[in-house]
Structure 1
């Protein structure tokens, strides 16, 4: 397998710095690194971005996450490995990624559950991580960026 082209942010270097700054800002909102990476992994799974799924998996392993928590984030609703706060964040991340799946992109019950566990800055961080991950997924998936090619 071969990528169709280089990553667009490397072809247009002026894009790299603002994208990296956005990612840095997204991670500055008070969430744990582990939760940020779980969100990144789940959003990347939804979008079918093998490059980002691979990176998320590797980052979570480096952070010491268990095989169960990494491997089963795809089925987080049916497993006992996540806290209520993590579940709320993952559900918010899924809704914010699948905007067109329902008339109300993020239903009140989903928002309220997340707001029960996270303050406004943390909610902003979750949304920025989702948005940034979606940006990465939308750059990598169309060009078929090869998993592990970093």
Structure 2
């Protein structure tokens, strides 16, 4: 149970339009946003970052890879809430089931490209605080991605650093739509909790 009671969507006046816009993309109202709506200026700012970083149709990194980076970052940080959301969002945004099933075998699984491996490695190493991404990790990332794309990948990792800490701290409850989705998946390496 969440440490702070989330507002209902009807109570989110100042952030309602932004929260509903995210809900139209995901198919449900996120409890994390209903918590943040107690401070609507923060909710709107976070939702603005979400739109700019992972839901940007003009992004230069493939949306499926953005969601895989978000998922690996969240799992590496131990955030159950964000791990579940990014897993579902990955599936909803083009990540094939075989990649979702093998996500923690990205270093060795043939379903991942070298570019994906470089990005997912940075999601693990760069997503920790402090970061333990090595110069070699960054050099490998530069072999596959432009500087603009590296900024985008780094922004996904940083955004989920905030989201992971926020939702773990608040003990945000998963929504039924997400738990129902996870219940329908029995993929190796994923916990259905």
In the superposition, the TM-score normalised over structure 2's length comes to 0.69
In the alignment, does 2:117 pair up with 1:87?
Answer: yes
- Deviation at 1:149? 5.4
Paired residues in the alignment total 146
Could you tell me the TM-score, scaled by structure 1's length?
0.87
Quote how far apart the aligned CAs of 1:123 are: 0.3
Q: Which residue of 2 aligns with 1:110?
A: 137
Name whichever structure is richer in helix by fraction: 1
Match of residue 66 from structure 2: 36
- Give the unaligned 5+ runs of structure 1: none
Contact 2:73 2:124 survives alignment (8 Å): yes
- Structure 2 residue aligned with 1:51: 81
TM-align CA RMSD:
1.8
**Structure whose alpha-carbon radius of gyration is higher:** 2
* Structure-1 separation of matches of 2:172 and 2:110: 33
Does the CA-based 8 Å contact 1:54-1:148 persist in structure 2?
Answer: no
Q: Do the aligned residues in 2 keep the contact of 1:55 with 1:148 (CA within 8 Å)?
A: no
**Unpaired runs of 5+ in structure 2?**
7-31, 178-193
CA distance in structure 1 between the partners assigned to 2:110 and 2:129 by the alignment: 27
> After TM superposition, what 4+ stretches of structure 1 lie above 3 angstroms from structure 2?
none
In the other structure, the counterpart of 1:4 is 3
Structure with larger RCO (C-alpha < 8 A, sep 6+):
1
CA shift for structure 1 position 65: 2.7
Q: Is the 8 A contact 1:115 1:123 kept in 2?
A: yes
Query: Take 1:116 and 1:78, find their aligned partners in 2: how far apart are those partners?
Result: 19
* 2:172 alignment partner, one of 139, 145, 148: 145
Q: Is the 8 A contact 1:44 1:52 kept in 2?
A: yes
